[in-house]
């Protein structure tokens, strides 16, 4: 296995655990990813460094073995089982740096599952996972110290919360909160876009990235 972004002409060889440059790699694990009863082998590689870092390599067993590789970028992923099906719960990496500094950004829920031997985005079909992310984003936006914390953290969590709300069919709640927060002066973040400029940028990207479809 080589990292997905490894140059085609670069050598990628196994030199043993003492010389392999990858900082960490998980053991191969068997998981029922498709609900069919046939186990899949999953290996996650952590490549180290800033703003990368986890890539998954999945081997589906059965009559016709299939190989799947995916780069989770900044959000990474964790596994959730619902109704006997395994989900890769990640986030939308496009939100990182989009509205504020990376440390204060929030990647809204992005959920993946194996369908027809492919890893596909099924976010809108699992609203419970999206709703859980929305609750965390809202709590983060409110912060521990009220308005002071909101201004320090900026608008990253609010942008992620709005995206989750649109995924849940509750876009009107996002629009209402944006109006209220603007009027209250809570959108004057110290990092990134603020005020009406933030609202314009957020609405533009929510539309461009498919969140505001009706």
pLDDT of residue 55: 87
Percent of the chain with pLDDT strictly greater than 90: 44
173 within some domain: yes
- Residue 115 confidence (pLDDT) above 70: yes
pLDDT of residue 35: 73
**Torsion over CA: 21, 24, 29, 32 (sign):** negative
Which of the four pLDDT bands, split at 50, 70 and 90, describes residue 144?
low
Q: How many domains does the chain have?
A: 1
Closest CA to 114 of 39, 2, 166, 4: 39
32 within some domain: no
61 within some domain: no
36 within some domain: no
Question: What digits encode the pLDDT tens for the residues 47-80?
Answer: 776 777 788 989 988 777 888 999 999 999 999 9
136 within some domain: yes
pLDDT of residue 132: 98
Closest CA to 91 of 49, 143, 136, 60: 136
- Residue 103 confidence (pLDDT) above 60: yes
Structural domain span for residue 181: 72-208
- Residue 151 confidence (pLDDT) above 60: yes
149 within some domain: yes
pLDDT of residue 161: 97
Please check whether residue 137 is in contact with residue 161, taking contact to mean a CB–CB distance below 8 angstroms. yes
Token reading at 53? 């870092």
Q: Which residues contact 145 (CB under 8 A, 6 or more apart)?
A: none
Q: Is 165 helix (H, G, I), strand (E, B) or coil?
A: helix
Please indicate whether residue 111 or residue 8 has the higher confidence score (pLDDT): 111
Percent of the chain with pLDDT strictly greater than 70: 79
Please indicate whether residue 79 or residue 25 has the higher confidence score (pLDDT): 79
| Cis check: omega of the bond before 15, within 30 degrees of 0 | no
190 within some domain: yes
150 within some domain: yes
- 195/25 Cα distance (integer angstroms): 43
């Amino acid at each position: 296995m080589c990292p997905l972004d490894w140059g085609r002409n670069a050598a990628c060889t196994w030199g043993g655990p003492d010389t392999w440059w990858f900082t960490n790699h998980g053991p191969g694990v068997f998981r029922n990813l498709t609900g069919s009863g046939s186990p899949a082998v999953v290996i996650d590689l952590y490549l180290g460094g800033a703003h990368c870092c986890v890539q998954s390599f999945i081997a589906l067993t059965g009559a016709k073995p299939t190989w799947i590789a995916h780069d989770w970028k900044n959000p990474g992923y964790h596994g959730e089982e619902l109704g006997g099906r395994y989900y890769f719960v990640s986030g939308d990496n496009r939100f990182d740096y989009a509205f504020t500094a990376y440390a204060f950004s929030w990647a809204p829920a992005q959920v993946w599952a194996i369908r027809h031997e492919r890893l596909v985005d099924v976010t809108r079909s699992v609203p419970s996972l999206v709703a859980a992310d929305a609750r965390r984003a809202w709590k983060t936006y409110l912060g521990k110290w009220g308005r002071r914390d909101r201004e320090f953290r900026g608008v990253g969590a609010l942008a992620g919360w709005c995206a989750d709300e649109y995924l849940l069919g509750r876009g009107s709640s996002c629009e209402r909160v944006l109006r209220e927060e603007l009027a209250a002066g809570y959108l004057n973040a110290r990092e990134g876009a603020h005020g009406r400029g933030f609202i314009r940028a957020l609405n533009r990207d929510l539309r461009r990235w498919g969140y505001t479809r009706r």
